[in-house]
Structures are given as structure tokens and as C-alpha cells.
Amino acid sequence: MKHKIVLIPGDGIGPEIVGEAKKVLDHVCQKYGHEFQYEEVLLGGASIDVHGVPLTDEAMATAKSADAVLMGSIGGDAATSPWYRLEPSKRPEAGLLRIRKGLNLFANLRPAYLYSQLKDACPLRPDIIGEGFDMLIMRELTGGLYFGERKTYEENGIRAAMDTLVYNEEEIRRIAVKGFQIARKRRNKVTSVDKANVLDSSRLWRKVVEEVAADYPDVELEHMLVDNCAMQLVRDPGQFDVILTENMFGDILSDEASMVTGSIGMLSSASLNETRFGLYEPSHGSAPDIAGQDKANPIATILSAAMMLRYSLDLDAEADAVEQAVEKVLEEGYRTGDIMSDGCTCVGTREMGDLIAKAIWGGGSH
Ligand code: IPM
Ligand code: MG
């Protein structure tokens, strides 16, 4: 099958990890007889350097015309990078928010799964890890604090700043529906996370989630306050199946969830709209401190490519092959620095990509 894929290498370690994911996809294409046409577009600092803005209209149009977008990471070191001397709406992150909003990617799926091979890299005690855990954070991605009105101003000589958190029922309903649908394909449990003891937006969130839940009587629904959820994630992560939450809470909780899986370098993500189209990116940042040193863990990006095969291209067997290849390489004891433990073999970004690409050929053919 022919598919058009837009690659966004981005900044920092982005080009290295996207390069490895593409290497793995090339092997998938060879093995299964597909043809992927790639086009690269600039986003974030890389785009600022060339065009003066973090995302051009042409880049957005190119992304829109693809079957799927595979992205690395964007942004730099805010203390030293000239990108952060620009006004906030021209900085790298503004480009990412614009592409999410422009493509209507309201549903952000972030699976956090503890590989049995990585138990030693998990910072939790063995009695807490138990049989391991496997959760999916369903983060609302185009509303809330990220997109509400904001301003910095001065009142009577006193500096002030304001951000607004707005959700309407339609925005809540469509992400809740996605949450319940995916719970049905997993373990039939949704934990909806909010701050309903304080925020009006959370009280509406809770009401609408309950209305949606009525259509999914086979799925268990519980509500949890976000502060409690942050605590439960390190107290008993095994209790979670689908965590359904708004944009800002999802941003914070997904970093926490990724760390309990051993490393943020393992966490993939898919950002979806109502169609098959999606933007796939690791949940981690651009790690400018290790950029270009062959140290970054490419696995989150490779697993994001697997999600792309599954959700946008409908290639389940190929997605399984990538996920199994990752597991095989971990099983053989290969680790990048971030997930390294005693007795394992430490490899760089490129070697990890080579090993996973080679392992694609391990299983039976299609
Ligand atoms: C993420 C990132 C982004 C976010 C940043 C880079 C704007 O932290 O994808 O989690 O906050 O959504
Ligand atoms: Mg984040």
C-alpha cells in the first residue's frame, strides 16, 4: 500500500530519533511490501531559524495533505536559546500548539506500560510494581488553559498575568466518547480526572462524562481529583486502565506516568481528530543537553510510529511487528543510557534503531 507521511524532525534530539523511527519504517515497508512517500516539514525552532516563525502556512498545508505525521520534538533551552527571546506567540511551542489546533487533534493518547524487562529501571518498589501496569492517558489536547485567552498587564503599577480555562460540553463529550471507546478495547475502566472540588470547568467535565458513561454501561467509571491521581500513580499504578482528563492535567500526569514506566524515553503518543489522520510523537521533549550525541532513546518515537501504523494506516500486523521488535531488543538486554541497568548492554541512538530494525525481520512474514 502507498501512504504519504510527513516527517517533522524538529529540534534537539528530534532529528536523531525521527531518523531511527524512519529506519524502522523502511524495514517494515521492505518486509510487508508497502511504499511510504515522505515529505519533511519544519516546526519549532528549526522553522524559526529558516522562516522566522515556528510554523508556516505551507508546512501546515503539507501536514494536512498527508495520511499521518510523525514528529520528533521541538523547543530548546529557554535560558540560552535565542528562540526564547521572541514574544511567546513566536516561540517553538506556539508552533506545536498551532498545528494541534489547526488539525483539530483533540484526542491525545499516551500509553504508559511497564515492560517486564524494565522493572529494574522503574523507580517504584517491587511490592508497588506488583504484576506491572498498563494504562492509557487520554488527554484533551485542543482546549482548556492552553488555548484560553491570556494576557500580561499592569494594574495600578502592579504586574499581573491571566490565563483562562474554558471547556464547552461538546469539547468534553467528544474526548469522553474516545475514552470510553478505547476502554472497551482494553479493560473496561475509565478514571476521569478533574478538580471538581474547586473548578467550574471540572464540574461541567464530570457531568458530561457521566452523561457519556450512560451509553457505555459495560465500562466502569470512577472520578478522581487530580491531586489524588498524582498520588495514586506512585502508590498503586496498577489500578488504572484509561485515565481521561483535560489538557493541562494530562500534560502533568503523563510525565509522571511515563517516569514510573522507567523513563520518559519510552512513552509514545498519538494525537487524533475525528478522521483516521493523526500526529504521532514521543511524549518527551527535545533534550537539547544531549542533542547530536547519539545518546537519546529512540524507542518512544519508534513506538509512536507503531501507533501511526495501527491508527492512521490500519496496518495492525505491522504495528505488532514493531512493538514485538522493541520487546525483543529489550529482552536481549540492549538499553540506551536512560533505561540502563546492571548486566545490560548500553547502546546509542543509532545502534538501538539498527537493532530494532533488524528485529523486524525476526517474526513470521505477513
Ligand atoms: C507535551 C509537551 C507540550 C505540551 C509542550 C512542548 C508545549 O510538554 O506534549 O506534553 O505541554 O503539551
Ligand atoms: Mg508535556
- Report domain extents, the chain: 1-107+273-366, 123-260
What is the dihedral sign for C-alpha 78, 81, 84, 90?
negative
For residues 5 and 3, give the distance between their C-alpha atoms in angstroms, rounded to a whole number: 6
Helix (H) / strand (E) element for 271: namely strand 270-272
Q: Are 219 and 190 in contact (CB under 8 A)?
A: yes
pLDDT band at 339 (very low <50, low <70, confident <90, very high): very high
Give the dihedral sign, CA 251/256/258/263.
positive
CA distance 146 to 127: 37
Q: Is the CB of 96 under 6 A from ligand 1?
A: yes
pLDDT at 363: 58
Determine the pLDDT at residue 131: 87
CB 65, CB 32: distance < 8 Å: no
Task: Check if 1-107+273-366 and 123-260 are the same fold.
Answer: yes
SS3 331: helix
Instruction: Quote the pTM value.
Output: 0.94
Q: In the predicted model, is pLDDT for residue 199 greater than 90?
A: yes
C-alpha closest to that of 244 among 166, 163, 135: 135
- Give, for ligand 1, the residue of 43, 74, 96, 109 to mutate: max count of ligand atoms closer than 8 Å to Cβ: 96
Listed in sequence order, the residues at least 6 apart from 349 whose beta carbon sits closer than 8 Å to its beta carbon are: 13, 16, 17, 20, 294, 295, 296, 297, 298, 336
Distance in angstroms (rounded) separating the CA atoms of residues 287 and 300 = 13
Encode pLDDT of 48-62 as tens digits. Answer: 999 999 999 999 999
What is the C-alpha to C-alpha distance for residues 355 and 267, in angstroms, rounded to an integer? Answer: 19
CA 13 vs CA 7, 25, 51, 77, 288: distances in Å:
14, 19, 21, 12, 7
Q: What single string gives the DSSP state of each residue in 117-140?
A: GGGGG--S-HHHHTT--EEEEEEE
**pLDDT of 259 strictly over 90:** no
Angle subtended by helix axes 316-331 and 349-359, to nearest 10? 120
Predicted pLDDT at 10: 98
Q: How confident is the model at residue 184 (pLDDT cuts 50, 70, 90)?
A: very high
50 Cα–ligand 1 center, Å:
23
Which stretch of 120-129, 241-250, 312-321 has the lowest confidence by average pLDDT?
120-129
What topology is assigned to 123-260 in CATH?
Isopropylmalate Dehydrogenase (3.40.718)
- Nearest alpha carbon to residue 190 among 168, 214, 169: 214
Domain 1-107+273-366 is of which CATH architecture?
3-Layer(aba) Sandwich (3.40)
Is the minimum distance from the CB of 75 to ligand 1 under 6 angstroms? yes
How far, in Å, from the CA of 266 to the mean position of ligand 2?
Answer: 14
SS3 string, 6-47, reads EEEEECCCHHHHHHHHHHHHHHHHHHHCCEEEEEECCCCHHH
Q: For the chain, how many residues are written?
A: 366
163 is catalytic: no
Per residue in 71-114, pLDDT (tens digit) is 999 999 999 999 999 999 999 999 999 999 999 999 999 999 99
Given a contact cutoff of 8 angstroms between Cβ atoms, the answer to whether 256 and 233 are in contact is yes
